[in-house]
Amino acid sequence: HISAFKSFNYKLNIMMCRDQVIRVNVKSEEQIHLLQALETAQEWEVDFWLDPVSTELPVDIRVPRFSLIPVKEHLTFHNIPFTVMIENVQELLDKEKAEMEANQMKERSTRSLNFGAYHDLNTIYSWMDTLVADYPNLITKQHIGVSYENRPMYVLKFSTGGYNRPAIWVDTGIHAREWVTQATGVWTANKIATDYGTDASLTSLLNTMDLYMLIVANPDGYVFSHTNDRMWRKTRSVNPGYACRGVDPNRNWDAGFGGPGASSYPCSDSYHGPSANSEIEVKNVVNLIQSHGNFKAFISVHSYSQLLMYPYGYVCSSANHQAELHSVGRAAAQKLTSLYGTAYQVGSICNIIYQASGGSIDWSYNSGIKYSFAFELRDTGRYGFILPADQIIPTASETWLALKHIMEYVRDHPY
């Protein structure tokens, strides 16, 4: 109940050790005036939690420890009866703080994380730890490097053993403002963890392949989209000579880098950066993929537009495996649509959305990872980036059907 009282000092986190809150039931106008005068007595520093307004209402006063004796003497002298409501304000504050922290801790355990809500970076990172703790035989958390602002970047590795098994890569949140993607990453990681052992297809997949999930591929941008600018897209790297920060991390990969479909202007939201892999967030992923050497699929998840795309973006000519990729994509999109009727378009990036150079799946495809796909999740522009939270789980659920189809196909077509 303590938070129901207005208290300026409470917000300032000033220590209130052995301060007390006393309650006065005023009996006359004269008493009201007297109490109001108390407020101006600067040397006593009393703080009214319920102001003296009328004889109908109680007056609650927080009295600092050093003023307790003079204030109580003053009230007694003027025949104003009072009772001590709170004997030690600090004690109560500590208790409440502990309660709040306990609640937050509980929320962070996997079972009670609300998957149908958007969470900040700290919450997602804490939740990752609980997921790993709950499924230690399936999931490990790997630190793959830091962001520009020195935040850790974590990948969840789903593996049932083996050594350097063929692997599937999924990243979400490379563009900060695409909040439904990080949220989908969280839901999907949880889905895989809970379905392993019960879903036959998923179980067989994880018995022969590993799955790597980078849920927050752009942590600096994600934080900035929470604290400063909901529409932030890029990284937060400094561009020398310009007030504008950030590089579009999906124009920064080494595939047609600097070509059409990316901007050379640092203030642009599609700025490709000074050179390929200049962004540490991108370099960290490239390093992992290259040193692993055995990835068979690479899937990047974005929003919005409801599209499922394959290479290329940097040129409009067909990839060598165009026909096969289109066929897999179409089947995956049909699975997605089967859940709620959400319609997706399938095609190469360059044909479906725009020519764009330096994109992640072009790089992965040219590196030899044949099954490279990019998703643009819900919706088609009504809400756009600010998709209502109540659509997170439906979006993640339908997307999972498409992801699963692609992963099963990869499992069944080793190369």
Partner 1 sequence: MMRLVVVLAVLMGVSGIPDVTISPPTASADTSAHPNSIPETADESEQIKARTEEGAEEDVMATGELNPNHYPARRAAQVVQHYLNTRYGSPFRLIGVQTVHSGNAEDVADSGRKYQLELSVNDIITNTTQTCSAELFFPKGKGQQPPEVKASLEELLKIDIKAQEEALYQKYKTNQTLMSAQYLPDSHGHIEPDMKPFWHLGILASSFIMLNESTENTLYNVAQVANITQLTTEEDHLEFDCHTLLHEVVSQEIIHWKMLFTWSPAEGVKVVQMKRLPHRHEREKSPKTN
CB of 215 to partner 1, least distance (A): 18
Give yes or no for residue 287 binding partner 1 (CB under 8 A): no
Question: Per CB under 8 A, which of residues 188..207 are in contact with partner 1?
Answer: none
For residues 63 and 350, what is the distance between their CA atoms, to the nearest angstrom? Answer: 69
Taking the least distance from each CB to partner 1, the nearer of 132 and 346 is: 346
Compute the least distance from the CB of residue 249 to partner 1, in Å. 12
Min dist CB 312 to partner 1, Å, is 12
Q: Is 376 a catalytic residue?
A: yes
The one segment of 45-53, 104-112, 279-287, 374-382 that binds partner 1 by CB under 8 A: 374-382
Q: What are the start-end ranges of the H helices in 51-178?
A: 68-77, 89-108, 121-134
408 sits near partner 1 (criterion: CB under 8 A): no
Spell out the residues 6+ positions from residue 226 whose beta carbon is closer than 8 angstroms to its own.
120, 121
If the CB atoms of residues 196 and 312 are measured against partner 1, the closer one turns out to be 312
Residue with tokens 């039931």: 25
Instruction: Kindly tell me which residue out of 235, 305, 364, 372 binds partner 1, with binding defined by CB under 8 A.
Output: 305
Sketch the per residue contact string, 216 through 245, with partner 1: x for CB under 8 A, - otherwise.
Answer: ----------xxxxxx-x--------xxx-
With beta carbons less than 8 A apart as the criterion, state whether 342 and 353 touch: no
Rule CB under 8 A: say whether 71 interacts with partner 1.
no
Using CB under 8 A, which residues numbered 124 to 153 contact partner 1? none
The CA distances from residue 254 to 100, 276, 328, 365, in Å, are 47, 5, 25, 11
The answer to whether residue 340 forms part of the interface with partner 1 (CB under 8 A) is: no
Structure tokens at 255: 């595939």
CA 57, CA 51: separation in Å to the nearest integer? 9
**Helix, strand or coil, per DSSP, at residue 308:** strand
Binding flags for partner 1, 245-284, as an x/- string (CB under 8 A): ---x----------xxxxxxx-xxxx--------------
Would you give the binding string for partner 1 spanning residues 163-182, x where CB under 8 A is met? --------------------
Distance (Å, whole) CA 257 – CA 380: 28
Smallest separation (angstroms) from partner 1 to the CB of 334: 14
67 or 345: CB nearest partner 1: 345
**Span near partner 1 by CB under 8 A; candidates 195-203, 275-283, 293-301, 339-347:** 339-347
Q: Is 323 in the site for partner 1 (CB under 8 A)?
A: no
Count of other CB atoms within 10 angstroms of residue 194:
15
Minimal distance in Å, beta carbon 241 to partner 1?
11
**What whole-number distance in Å separates Cα of residue 372 and Cα of residue 88?**
62
Catalytic residue among 178, 281, 376, 398, which? Answer: 376
Question: Environment class of residue 163 by beta-carbon count within 10 Å: exposed (0-12), middle (13-18) or buried (19+)?
Answer: exposed
Is 343 a residue that touches partner 1 (CB under 8 A)?
A: yes
Please report how close the Cβ of residue 325 comes to partner 1 at its closest, in angstroms.
Answer: 15
For residue 204, give the 3-state DSSP assignment: helix
Strands 82-86 and 20-24, by their bridges, are: antiparallel
Please choose, out of 60-68, 213-221, 363-371, 382-390, the segment that lies near partner 1 by the rule CB under 8 A. Answer: 382-390
Residue 118 is a binding residue for partner 1 (CB under 8 A): yes
Instruction: Answer for the pair 296, 205: CB distance below 8 angstroms, yes or no.
Output: no
Size of the site for partner 1 (CB under 8 A): 46
- Find, among 164, 205, 213, 200, the residue nearest to 407 by Cα: 205
Q: CA 141, CA 136: separation in Å to the nearest integer?
A: 10
* Per-residue exposure over 382-406, b if at least 16 CB sit within 10 Å of its own CB, e if not: eeebebeeebbbebbbbbbbbbbbb
Residue 42 or 228 with smaller CB distance to partner 1: 228
State the residues that interact with partner 1 by CB under 8 A. Answer: 117-118, 226-231, 233, 242-244, 248, 259-265, 267-270, 305, 316, 343, 345-347, 351-355, 380-389, 391
Enzyme catalytic residues: 376
